[in-house]
A and B are shown apart, each in its own frame.
Chain A
Amino acid sequence: MNKGLCSALAALIFSFYGFSALAEVRQAQTLQDSPLRAEPSASAASVGQVGKQAQVLVLERQGGWYQVETSSGQRGWLPLLSLRFAKDAQASRSNDLGSLLKLGNQASPASGVATGIRGISDEELRSGSANTSASVQSLDAFAASPSEARSFAQQGGLRSQNLPYAR
Chain B
Amino acid sequence: MQTATLLKCASLLGLIVSLSACQGLEGVQIQGVDLGKLSSAGQHLTNMGQKSVDEERVIGQNTATILLSKAAVLNNPPLQAYVNRVGLWVAQHSERPDLPWRFVVLDSPQVAAYAAPGGYVFITSGMLTRMNSEAELAGVLAHEVAHVVQQHHLKAIQQQAQTGLLTDLATLAVQAGAADKGGSQAGELTDRFTRSVSDLYSRGLDRGDEYEADAMGAVIATRAGYDAYGLAGVLQTLGTTRQNDAALSSFLKVHPGIDDRLQRLQPVYLYIEKTASGPTQSLDARYQQALRSKR
Contacts and interface: CB of A to CB of B under 8 A. Distances in A.
A125 B106 CA distance: 11
Contact of B140 (A17, A23, A149): A17
A4 B111 contact: no
Contacts of B22: none
A160 B224 contact: yes
Interface string B145-158: 00110001100110
A20 interface: yes
Contacts of A10: 63, 66-67, 70
Contacts, number: 380
Contact of A14 (B67, B80, B234): B67
B232 A132 contact: no
B88 A149 contact: yes
A160 B83 CA distance: 18
A11 B81 contact: no
A64 B255 contact: no
Most B CB atoms within 10 A — which of A22, A100, A159?
Answer: A22
A62 to B, nearest CB: 8
A143 B238 contact: no
A9 B81 contact: no
A-side binding surface: helix, strand, loop or mixed?
A: loop
Nearest to B225: A158
A154 to B, nearest CB: 10
Interface of A: 1-2, 4-23, 25, 61-64, 80-81, 83-89, 91-97, 99-105, 109, 113-118, 120-122, 124-144, 146, 148-150, 152-153, 156-166
14 contacts: A9-B176, A20-B240, A80-B236, A85-B237, A95-B248, A96-B247, A117-B129, A142-B80, A157-B279, A158-B226, A160-B223, A161-B277, A163-B272, A164-B275
Interface of B: 31-32, 59, 61-77, 79-81, 83-89, 92-93, 100-117, 120, 122, 124-132, 134, 140, 143-144, 147-148, 152-153, 156-157, 176, 179-182, 186, 190, 193-194, 197-198, 200-201, 204-205, 210, 213, 215-216, 219, 222-229, 232-234, 236-243, 245, 247-248, 250-251, 254-255, 259, 262-263, 265-269, 271-273, 275-283, 286, 288, 291-292, 294-295
